[in-house]
Amino acid sequence: MDAFYVTLHITLVFQFISFGSSTCLFGCSCTDDILGRSLLCMETSMGEIPVDIPHDFIKIRIEKSHLTELPRGSFSKVPALEFLWLNFNEIALMNMKSLERLANLTELRLQGNKLTSVPWTAFQDTPKLKILDLKHNHLDVLPEHALRYLPALTYLDLSFNQLSVIAKEVFINWPLFQIAEKAWAKEGMVSNVVLGLHDNPWLCDCRLKGFVEFTRSVSPPIILMNSYLMCSGPALKAHKFFHEIQLKSCMRPVTSAPETNITLPLGANATLTCLVKGRPEPTIQWMYSLKIIRGFVASQTNIDEETFSSQLLIPSLHLADRGLYTCTANNFIGNSSVNITVNIASSDSSLPLLPPVPMLSSEENAYIEIHIAKQTVYGITLEWHAATENPAETWFTIHFGKYDSPKKEMIYIGPGINSYSVSNLLPVTKYEVCVTLKNHPPREGQCIVFVTGSDISEMEQKERLIHIIVIVCAMVLAVPVGMYACTTEARFSCVDRFVDLWRMHRMHDENLQEGARQGTFDSLQATSDEALCKSSMEKPTKRRRSEDKSKGGSAAYLY
Ligand SMILES: *[C@@H]1O[C@H](CO)[C@@H](O)[C@H](O)[C@H]1NC(C)=O
Ligand SMILES: *[C@@H]1O[C@H](CO)[C@@H](O)[C@H](O)[C@H]1NC(C)=O
Ligand SMILES: *[C@@H]1O[C@H](CO)[C@@H](O)[C@H](O)[C@H]1NC(C)=O
Ligand SMILES: *[C@@H]1O[C@H](CO)[C@@H](O)[C@H](O)[C@H]1NC(C)=O
Ligand SMILES: *[C@@H]1O[C@H](CO)[C@@H](O)[C@H](O)[C@H]1NC(C)=O
């Protein structure tokens, strides 16, 4: 009962207030003076611009009222509005059409808000704007045409923002600047224009050259509120005033290297040095063949304002580290690179270079578990795990080639790396890949044989021919090494049998078409001697199917 009357009472009081002041807003005050009616809302909790603002205001001041946004047509029902003060709110967003129908607006004050950018085209709606106060916001960019629609401005305050780099064109493109320059000959033709640009974190590199020159050349009728503009970076220029610095034009990087052909003994620590000259400071990157699997640390130092040195440290040089290292420097103007070749000194000139490391008998029986971690359209990624006494010092050799070719390519891999990718495989080819400890020859259990397939039905798509079927003889993955012998013969039979199985599987698969595909292969893999050949192959799932259709079929599913 009470609640009902309380509610009724509140409603009546509220109606009374809004009736009694039908032209003012609750929580605000309205005044009349010679200029017209003003609305003043201070420290209210309105949070957003009220939709029911009476239409006859000349001046609106809503401050400290937690406004967060200036939506489209915020004040479009107050077309006579000339002064709009929205200081000390939390406005972070200003709609491009937020000033719609404010053709008489002369003052917009947005001090102490959270704007990171301003839609400058919004000022197309306010051609009479004279005062624009944006100080204490978070503006970090001023586009070249920012001031294009502000021809009547006499006061622009951008101080205490986050501006770091702006082009002098911002001001050169300002219609008012062009008029002012012409009118300066006929003194007194234009009123003064005050610009507040101080207390921004100006980054005084070559990009600011034009702007710094502009601020120095500024003369009445344009006046800087505070002409002591200060740099905050780069380090060498921090805390310097604009009038104390000389800036040069921007420059594409130029790279060089004191040494471009480095020869070091195995195990040495190598340091590659790249010198870069450029403005502004370029980003420097190193590229080398094993970067994906083995990243080295590069450190950068400034030699002077525009010369930088980058050093790539290769700890304890391995054979795999030989080759070409490219240092590339890049800034917004362009890039440049230099090549450095790293060789390993060897007393033994025979090729391939074998490291003179004694074969440790304790490691001779070390067990390497090897498997194919990933199949790509063109190749495979190999992974291995080795139980060795000193993993930080143990390097590996990958022996890779066609199965029946006695000569295999050897790739040396440094310690700490346990994967390697092979690409550009040929279709319908049987390959063997082995991973051995140091420079040991391959032993059983350290090799994987696989066959790349060919999808005859989709022969046109040549580059997508590869299906890889992996045959792991003697189940090296599942049982300790040496448990099963995997002779050359056994391998052949494994492969042959597997290829047969694979064909059967494909036929079976085709017969099944849209039917249940799960486990089709598992049901084929049943007889006893196949236990020696652990094979892995496509286990079709719906997702893979749809991929296959779009890609033209890269079918093998690998564990
Ligand atoms: C805008 O200002 C002009 C000139 O002061 C005035 O004639 C016009 O009525 C004003 N517009 C509105 C919508 O009040
Ligand atoms: C680099 O140095 C090695 C050994 O000093 C030499 O054999 C090789 O020809 C040099 N390469 C170039 C491109 O100068
Ligand atoms: C290579 O650098 C490491 C660490 O900085 C150091 O312990 C090692 O002694 C250096 N090796 C050589 C051959 O200088
Ligand atoms: C280097 O510049 C050339 C054009 O000068 C461009 O084609 C190439 O992509 C750039 N390279 C990098 C890494 O930015
Ligand atoms: C660096 O070597 C690569 C590969 O040989 C070559 O394409 C490139 O033009 C070389 N760059 C320079 C700057 O010599």
Q: What is the DSSP letter of 424?
A: -
Distance from residue 103's CA to the centre of ligand 5 (Å)? 61
At residue 23, the pLDDT reads: 64
Ligand nearest to the CA of 77: 1
- The predicted model gives 95-110 an average pLDDT of 95
At residue 424, the pLDDT reads: 72
Alpha helices in 174-238 (DSSP H): 175-183, 209-217
60-69, 324-333, 396-405, 547-556 — which is least confidently predicted?
Answer: 547-556
Distance from residue 126's CA to the centre of ligand 5 (Å)? 57
221-235, 246-260, 378-392 — which is least confidently predicted?
Answer: 378-392
What angle is formed at CA 441 by the lines to CA 347 and CA 263, rounded to 5 degrees? 25
Percent of the chain with pLDDT over 90: 36
CATH topology of domain 27-244: 3.80.10
Ligand nearest to the CA of 327: 5
Asked if residue 454 has pLDDT above 80, the reply is no
Q: Which tens digit of pLDDT belongs to each residue from 427-440?
A: 777 888 888 887 77
Q: Which atom of ligand 4 is nearest to the CA of 334?
A: 2
At residue 161, the pLDDT reads: 97
Three-state secondary-structure class, residue 373: strand
At residue 358, the pLDDT reads: 39
Query: Which residue would you say has higher pLDDT here, 129 or 359?
Result: 129
Percent of the chain with pLDDT over 70: 70
Q: How many Cβ atoms sit within 10 Å of the Cβ of residue 450? A: 26
> What residue owns the CA closest to ligand 5's atom 8?
339
Query: Which residue would you say has higher pLDDT here, 80 or 471?
Result: 80
Cα–Cα distance measured from residue 383 to residue 369, given in angstroms and rounded to the nearest whole number: 8
Q: Which atom of ligand 5 is nearest to the CA of 336?
A: 13
Q: Which atom of ligand 4 is nearest to the CA of 328?
A: 13
Q: Which atom of ligand 1 is nearest to the CA of 79?
A: 13
Specify whether the CB–CB gap between 135 and 159 falls below 8 A.
yes
At residue 62, the pLDDT reads: 95
6-20, 257-271, 448-462 — which is least confidently predicted?
Answer: 6-20
At residue 328, the pLDDT reads: 95
User: E-assigned strands of 122-258?
Assistant: 131-133, 155-157, 193-196, 202-203, 222-224, 231-233, 251-256
Q: Which tens digit of pLDDT belongs to each residue from 342-391?
A: 998 865 444 444 444 434 444 455 678 888 877 766 678 888 888 777 77
Residues 6 or more apart in contact with residue 256 via CB below 8 angstroms: 274, 275, 338
Alpha helices in 290-392 (DSSP H): 361-364
Asked if residue 241 has pLDDT above 60, the reply is yes
In whole numbers, what is the pLDDT of the chain averaged over residues?
A: 74
Q: Which tens digit of pLDDT belongs to each residue from 400-447?
A: 888 888 888 888 787 778 888 887 777 777 888 888 887 778 877 788
At residue 136, the pLDDT reads: 97
Ligand nearest to the CA of 55: 1
What angle is formed at CA 182 by the lines to CA 179 and CA 183, rounded to 5 degrees? 80
What angle is formed at CA 519 by the lines to CA 514 and CA 524, rounded to 5 degrees? 110
Gyration radius of the chain over CA positions: 38
Q: Which tens digit of pLDDT belongs to each residue from 130-188?
A: 999 999 999 999 998 899 999 889 999 999 999 999 988 898 888 887 776 666 556 55
Query: Which residue would you say has higher pLDDT here, 366 or 214?
Result: 214
Ligand 4 pocket check for 337: Cβ under 6 Å: no
Tokens representing residue 529 in the block: 């001697």
At residue 493, the pLDDT reads: 35
CATH 3.40.980.10 fits domain 257-345: no
At residue 359, the pLDDT reads: 41
Q: Which tens digit of pLDDT belongs to each residue from 291-306?
A: 766 678 899 998 888 8
Ligand 5 pocket check for 337: Cβ under 6 Å: yes
At residue 448, the pLDDT reads: 83
Cα–Cα distance measured from residue 304 to residue 307, given in angstroms and rounded to the nearest whole number: 5
Q: How many Cβ atoms sit within 10 Å of the Cβ of residue 454? A: 16
Parse the chain into domains and list their residue ranges: 27-244, 257-345, 367-551
Specify whether the CB–CB gap between 478 and 472 falls below 8 A.
no
Ligand nearest to the CA of 333: 4
At residue 484, the pLDDT reads: 28
Place of tokens 């040991």: 440
Cα–Cα distance measured from residue 164 to residue 172, given in angstroms and rounded to the nearest whole number: 18
Q: How many Cβ atoms sit within 10 Å of the Cβ of residue 269? A: 10
> What residue owns the CA closest to ligand 1's atom 14?
80
Ligand 1 pocket check for 79: Cβ under 6 Å: yes
CA atoms within 13 A on the CB side of 67: 27
Same CATH fold assignment for domains 27-244 and 367-551: no
Ligand nearest to the CA of 288: 5
Distance from residue 335's CA to the centre of ligand 4 (Å)? 6
Asked if residue 1 has pLDDT above 70, the reply is no
> What residue owns the CA closest to ligand 5's atom 10?
339
Distance from residue 37's CA to the centre of ligand 1 (Å)? 14
Give the CA distances from residue 314 to residues 248, 398, 464, in Å, rounded to whole numbers and listed in that order: 36, 21, 38
Asked if residue 233 has pLDDT above 60, the reply is yes
Cα–Cα distance measured from residue 265 to residue 277, given in angstroms and rounded to the nearest whole number: 31
Give the CA distances from residue 363 to residues 249, 357, 366, 437, in Å, rounded to whole numbers and listed in that order: 61, 13, 5, 8
Q: For the domain 367-551, what is the CATH superfamily, name and number?
A: Immunoglobulins (2.60.40.10)
Q: Which tens digit of pLDDT belongs to each residue from 507-557?
A: 443 333 333 333 222 222 222 233 333 333 333 333 333 333 333 332 222
This prediction has a pTM of: 0.56
User: E-assigned strands of 282-321?
Assistant: 283-288, 297-304, 307-314
Best residue for ligand 5 mutational test, from 326, 338, 341 (most atoms within 8 Å of Cβ): 326
Taking alpha carbons only, the member of 180, 185, 183 closest to residue 151 is 180
Asked if residue 311 has pLDDT above 90, the reply is yes
Report the C-alpha dihedral over residues 523, 527, 528, 530, rounded to 10 degrees. Answer: -70
